[in-house]
Amino acid sequence: MIDQAVELIRKSSYSIALTGAGISTPSGIPDFRSHESGLWNNADAMQVASLSGFRYNPLGFYTWIRPFADLIKNALPNPAHFALATLEDLGMLQAVITQNIDMLHVDAGNRNVYEVHGHLRQMTCINCFKEYDSEPILKKFFENKEIEVPRCPACGGALKPNVILFGEQLPMQVFIKAQQAVRHADLVLVAGSSLEVHPVADFPVQVRRQGGRVIIVNNERTVQDDIANVVIRGDVAEILPAIVDKLASE
């Protein structure tokens, strides 16, 4: 299967990667959508992780998200992230489309990254819409033992991280660029995504319909395995470096 994936990537003229939570679990970040992560235990998603819920009770959001955000703060890219960065350096990967908010693709060295579910680099006031760099604000947030809602220095409104909550539109400019990459792609490498979250989950189907190839690397079966040209079951932190090592040695 690895040799088949290598052959498809080598023959591709415009390859993209689509990544989900599974590429970051080797970095210690759990899939926050799964009940095993603990984030959904005793929590109503629409109350704590929706835009309307945030506006009504921002403290509830920050209380819920703090353990997950703390994991992201301390996480480092793993071999799967570095493999995709190397693939881009080799000229064999034109873009990374990620559903993750952890920014690890950028940290690993990928330059053309579309974070379609947002990121934690900036925060925006929900009242006056002023935007701020997150680092000093979150540093203070984590230093405080008692959880407090970060407030806008200009108007005192609650600051929301630039991540996409339920009921919120995707960042349109980023999503349009991701769509453009998909339209150009003749191969998509899916890594660590269950392909259950739309509209991003439609991308591999689109690539297949326009005559492209689909490679899926995931620990578990996905709903799109049947349309893939190559399916590899295993740890992305092992499989992706193995693929890239073969490509780099040729």
- Residue ranges and CATH numbers for the domains of the chain are 1-29+77-117+170-250 (3.40.50.1220), 31-74+119-163 (3.30.1600.10)
Q: What is residue 27's predicted lDDT score, i.e. its pLDDT?
A: 95
- Asked if 193 contacts 219 with a C-beta cutoff of 8 angstroms, the reply is no
SS3 sequence of the chain: CHHHHHHHHHHCCCEEEEECHHHCHHHCCCCCCCHHHCCCCCCCHHHHCEHHHHHHCHHHHHHHHHHHHHHHHHCCCCHHHHHHHHHHHCCCCCEEEECCCCCHHHHHCCCCEEECCEEEEEEEECCCCCEEEHHHHHHHHHHCCCCCCCECCCCCCEEEEEECCECCCCCHHHHHHHHHHHHHCCEEEEECCCCCCCCHHHHHHHHHHCCCEEEEEECCCCCCHHHCCEEEECCHHHHHHHHHHHHHHC
The residues near 245 (Cβ < 8 Å, ≥ 6 apart) are none
What's residue 113's pLDDT? Answer: 98
Cβ neighbours, 10 Å, residue 46:
13
The 10s digit of each residue's pLDDT in 183-208 is 999 999 999 999 988 999 999 999 99
What's the predicted TM-score (pTM) here?
Answer: 0.93
**CA gap 42, 170 in Å, rounded:** 27
All residue ranges of the chain with pLDDT < 50 are none
Q: Can you give the pLDDT at residue 33?
A: 58
List the beta bridge partners of residue 15.
187
Which of 117, 119, 184, 198 is the catalytic position? 117
pLDDT value at position 24?
95
pLDDT at 31: 76
Predicted pLDDT of residue 172: 94
Catalytic residue check, 117: yes
pLDDT of residue 167: 87
